[in-house]
Chains A and B, each alone.
Chain A
Amino acid sequence: MMKHLLISAALSVVLAAPAFAADVDTIAILTPEQGSDYGWNQQGVDAAKAAAEATGVEIIVAEGLGYGDVRAPMREIAADGADLMIAHASGYNTAGPEIAEETGVAVAIVDSPDALVPGKVADYTLSGHEGAYLAGRLAAKMTTTGTVGIVVSGEPPSWNSQSAGFAEGVKAENPDVKILYSVIGPAAYSDAAGGNRVTTSVIAAGADIIFGQGNGSSFGMIQAVESNKATDGSDVLFIDVIGDKSELDKGHLLTSVLWDMTPVYTAMIEDLKADKFGTHGYSISLADDSVKLVKTPQVDEKAWEEVMALREQIIAGDIKVEPKFEAEDVRALVTVAE
């Protein structure tokens, strides 16, 4: 009996080992494009570096890995000693959990809130829908043609949520404003020519403010905004997301829904150390400034003040902006032909 008790005790110690706090010495971030795109990739890399510095861990940055099979670089990074791999692309959310299972290294993925595996796989499907709502209010205040456009290079949940937030903001401000919506392609994240073509078409259809979400294709959208006049002859304005392209602006950037992912990555590292990794999702919000609007010279001062007052109301809970991650929800909010 005593022997069985000792064996049981020994086994319980062994089996309970994974529940002990993990050491985190090195994290890695893997991005599909270079971390210099003033958008999704750059914000991810910068935030991962900041989180690493804040928590005192080393960081491996693997940029420009493309949108294809990322298994080989993930295996290499796992072999290099990473304790956490941040797979910073929705296209990586199939390979990520497989590699986590294969190597035992924790992996963070996006756009898969249901894929959580305690200790192994966490999801950070983020949404700046509150900021997008404010951008929609601002756009509806400033449009001169009465038509605004949403151009996206895909329909991942994060972007659907922001598109829906923007459309809700426009409608809340002025229900008469038309909202045109167009997707460049199934996964046209780096299709700059497509971004230009689609945005040009949306402008030709009457939009004078474009809310664009597109990684590399955003630059095509911006070029179209700079190259075309609105149907009423006014300048077209652009609302960017995630990153800050102010230093590249030629007078057409109205604002950007800026994301700061540092708190998210920092929380991931802390969760991994506390053995809570993979047990819950992460979010960003206006309240902690991880989502905020960029003010540019193109913004009307009075409109900005009104929007900032709305921001306070959202933070206080007086205005509720719920995330909507499905593409159908976005289409239900945009202008439909009779």
Chain B
Amino acid sequence: MGGLLTEAFLSSLFTGAIVAAIPMLLAGLGEQMSEKAGVLNIGIEGMMLMGAYMGFLVAFKTESLWLGFLGGILGGVLVAIVMAVLCVRLGLNQIVIGIGLTLGVEGLTALLHHFQFSRTYPRLPAPERLNIPGLTDLPVIGPSLFGRHLIVYLALIAVAVLAYLYRRTNLGMTLRAAGERPAALDVAGGNVLGIRVFATLFTGGMAGLGGAYLANIGAGLFIPFMTGGAGFIGIVLAMLARGRPLWVLIGSLIFGAALSMTTALQVAGSNIPTDVIQMLPFAAVMLVLVLFGRRAKLPSALGAAYERGAR
């Protein structure tokens, strides 16, 4: 194994881990707020995919990555509005609607891609990197960890902001109340449906941003079905994180590293069969579920529609 720990292996590992982790981190942070408020947002994969499509479309048309990210957020929110209306306002089954939304968005974005991009496959120019002085020049990890696009650092800042919001603000308390004891929140004068709608839309925005990152930074183009289950991994991360944004970050880095490890091991010339290497991310998911899954604490009212006076 010592022969594997080369500069090539480590560079490949760190570079790939960050690229793979950020979309899952953004989706996981979004899902976490939704779950805190009691909404199990299975439609996050569709929100992410719509964010990828809208993010790429806007970035391509305006030649601005930042407007593209805004477009991605908007795309995710648009799908989230449907989820909020059907599941929060009308109280329909969150799992069924979530799956339906994902399938619908998959078909819609594939169709739009077919008519708009399938003959030209436009690509975005290389994203600008923000090099952190002094750190980017570090050997091996420097360019991988400290020479990324600004959105990567903003995603990391979002972890701290959300941790503060959940622990130190009234909004954080209200979100938790909506997920744990919605009736008590209602009695105390809180707006259960309002806070759940807000959380659902926030989830859509974050998932859309994750999708836009995947399309604009991760791939530089949009391809149908390109999220490849990243949104669903976001749900797993949120559930395992027990309400803590920092754990979502750690989880996404573990999954990102496992995914990147598949490349790094191959690049390092490992003699392990490719089929075994490709199993690593899935093995990591199962290992984490076995180790921490039973300790995952979910809100009491998660997945249950709230209706005033209902018993």
Write the residues of chain A forming the contact surface with B, with a CB cutoff of 8 angstroms: 34, 36-38, 64, 149, 155, 180-183, 185-186, 190-198, 200-202, 204-206, 216-217, 219-220, 222-224, 226-228, 248, 250, 327, 331, 334-338
The answer to whether A197 touches B267 (Cβ under 8 A) is no
The answer to whether B278 touches A183 (Cβ under 8 A) is yes
Question: Do A182 and B219 form a contact, CB below 8 Å, given A193-B228, A202-B12?
Answer: no
Q: How far is the CA of A195 from the CA of B228 in the complex (A)?
A: 13
The answer to whether A200 touches B16 (Cβ under 8 A) is yes
The answer to whether B269 touches A192 (Cβ under 8 A) is no
Question: Could you list some 7 contacts between A and B, CB below 8 A?
Answer: A190-B225, A192-B223, A197-B259, A205-B267, A219-B121, A223-B219, A334-B269
The answer to whether A220 touches B269 (Cβ under 8 A) is no
The answer to whether A197 touches B218 (Cβ under 8 A) is yes
Measured between beta carbons, the chain A residues less than 8 angstroms from B114 are 34, 64
The answer to whether B221 touches A182 (Cβ under 8 A) is no
Measured between beta carbons, the chain A residues less than 8 angstroms from B124 are 223
Q: B174 to nearest A CB, angstroms? A: 36
Interface size class of B (residues with CB under 8 A): 35 or more
Q: A121 to nearest B CB, angstroms? A: 27
- Taking A195-B219, A250-B123 as given, write out 13 further A-B residue pairs in contact, using a Cβ cutoff of 8 Å, ordered by the A residue number: A34-B118, A36-B119, A182-B266, A183-B274, A193-B215, A201-B15, A201-B263, A205-B8, A219-B223, A223-B124, A227-B220, A248-B120, A331-B271
Q: How far is the CA of A321 from the CA of B246 in the complex (A)?
A: 54
Measured between beta carbons, the chain A residues less than 8 angstroms from B67 are none
Measured between beta carbons, the chain B residues less than 8 angstroms from A217 are 223
Q: A212 to nearest B CB, angstroms? A: 14
Question: Do A337 and B4 form a contact, CB below 8 Å, given A205-B12, A205-B267?
Answer: yes
Measured between beta carbons, the chain B residues less than 8 angstroms from A337 are 3-4, 6, 9, 268-270
**Per a CB cutoff under 8 Å, which of B219, B228, B274 touches A196?**
B219
**Per a CB cutoff under 8 Å, which of A155, A180, A200, A334 touches B15?**
A200
The answer to whether A197 touches B16 (Cβ under 8 A) is yes
Q: A88 to nearest B CB, angstroms? A: 17
**Per a CB cutoff under 8 Å, which of A185, A193, A205, A331 touches B226?**
A193
Residue among B20, B110, B143, B223 with most chain A CB within 10 A: B223
Q: How far is the CA of A250 from the CA of B125 in the complex (A)?
A: 10
**Per a CB cutoff under 8 Å, which of A223, A331, A334, A336 touches B220?**
A223
Q: B42 to nearest A CB, angstroms? A: 21
In chain A, what residue has the closest Cβ to B260? A201
Measured between beta carbons, the chain A residues less than 8 angstroms from B199 are none
**Per a CB cutoff under 8 Å, which of A197, A331, A334 touches B20?**
A197
The answer to whether A204 touches B219 (Cβ under 8 A) is no
Q: B278 to nearest A CB, angstroms? A: 5
In chain B, what residue has the closest Cβ to A195? B219
**Per a CB cutoff under 8 Å, which of B11, B119, B214 touches A205?**
B11
The answer to whether A193 touches B219 (Cβ under 8 A) is yes
Measured between beta carbons, the chain B residues less than 8 angstroms from A202 are 12, 263, 267
Measured between beta carbons, the chain A residues less than 8 angstroms from B259 are 197
B19 interface contact, C-beta 8 A: yes
Q: How far is the CA of A226 from the CA of B11 in the complex (A)?
A: 19
Q: How far is the CA of A222 from the CA of B260 in the complex (A)?
A: 19
Interface residues of B in 253-288 (CB under 8 A from A): 259-260, 262-264, 266-271, 274-275, 278
B127 interface contact, C-beta 8 A: yes
Q: How far is the CA of A334 from the CA of B271 in the complex (A)?
A: 11
Q: How far is the CA of A192 from the CA of B215 in the complex (A)?
A: 9
Q: How far is the CA of A146 from the CA of B190 in the complex (A)?
A: 65
The answer to whether A192 touches B219 (Cβ under 8 A) is yes
The answer to whether B123 touches A219 (Cβ under 8 A) is yes
Q: How far is the CA of A334 from the CA of B119 in the complex (A)?
A: 35
Q: B223 to nearest A CB, angstroms? A: 4
B224 interface contact, C-beta 8 A: yes
